[in-house]
Amino acid sequence: MLDLHRLVDRVAEALGPEASAPEVEAAAGAALDALASLDASSLVNGSGTAVRSLTLGVSLLDCGSRLPQTLCARAYDKIRRTAGFFAPALKEVAREGALPGVERRLAVTPIALLADGQGRDDLIALAQMLDAAAADVEVDRLGGFAALLERGLTEGDRTFLEALPHVLAATSRVEAAVRCAGPAGLNADAALRLAEAVALTAQHDPEACLRLAALCDGEGCGFFHPPAGPEAAVYVELDAGRILQDALRLVPEDACLRTLGEAIARAAYKAALAGAQVGRRVAEVLGERGSGAVAFGGVFFSFDHAATRREVLATLGAETPGAPGEAAAMLLLDVALRRGGEAASACLPLFTTPSVRALPGDASPETLAALLVDAFAPAVAMRRPATLRLVPVKSQVAGDVVDLGERLGRVEISAPPSANTAFARRGGQGMMTS
- Local confidence pLDDT in tens for the 434 residues of the chain: 334 445 556 666 666 667 676 676 666 666 655 554 444 344 444 444 688 899 999 999 999 888 999 999 999 999 999 999 999 999 888 887 656 678 999 999 999 999 888 999 999 999 999 999 999 999 999 999 999 999 889 999 999 999 999 999 999 999 999 999 988 889 999 999 999 999 999 988 888 999 999 998 766 577 899 998 899 999 999 888 888 888 888 888 888 888 988 888 888 888 888 888 889 999 999 999 877 889 999 888 888 766 677 788 888 877 666 677 887 888 888 888 888 887 777 666 555 555 788 888 888 899 899 899 888 888 888 888 888 999 998 877 777 787 777 666 777 787 776 656 677 778 787 655 55
CA distance 276 to 271: 8
Residue 328 sits at the vertex; the CA angle it makes with 323 and 330, to the nearest 5 degrees, is 90
The CATH topology of domain 110-224+355-424 is Anaerobic Ribonucleotide-triphosphate Reductase Large Chain (3.20.70)
What confidence score (pLDDT) does residue 327 get?
79
Find how far residue 171's CA is from the centre of its chain: 20
CA distance 57 to 301: 17
CATH 3.20.70.20 domain locations along the chain: 110-224+355-424
With 0.85 as the threshold, say if the pTM is over it: no
| Per-residue three-class SS string for the chain | CCCHHHHHHHHHHHHCCCCCHHHHHHHHHHHHHHHHCCCHHHHHHHHHHHEEEEEEEECCHHHCCCCHHHHHHHHHHHHHHHHCCHHHHHHHHHHCCCCCCCEEEEEECCHHHHCCCCCHHHHHHHHHHHHHHHHHCCCCEEEEEEEECCCCCCHHHHHHHHHHHHHHHHCCCEEEEEEEEECCEECHHHHHHHHHHHHHHHHHCHHHHHHEEEEECCCCCCCCCCCCCCCEEEEEEEEHHHHHHHHHHCCCCCCCHHHHHHHHHHHHHHHHHHHHHHHHHHHHHHHHHCCCCCEEEEEEEECCCHHHHHHHHHHHCCCCCCCCCHHHHHHHHHHHHHHHHHHCCCEEEEEECCCEEEEECCCCHHHHHHHHHHHHHHHHHHCCCEEEEEEEECCCCCCCEEECCCCCCEEECCCCCCCCHHHHCCCCCCECCC
Q: How many CB atoms lie within 10 A of CB 77?
A: 12
Q: How many CB atoms lie within 10 A of CB 97?
A: 11
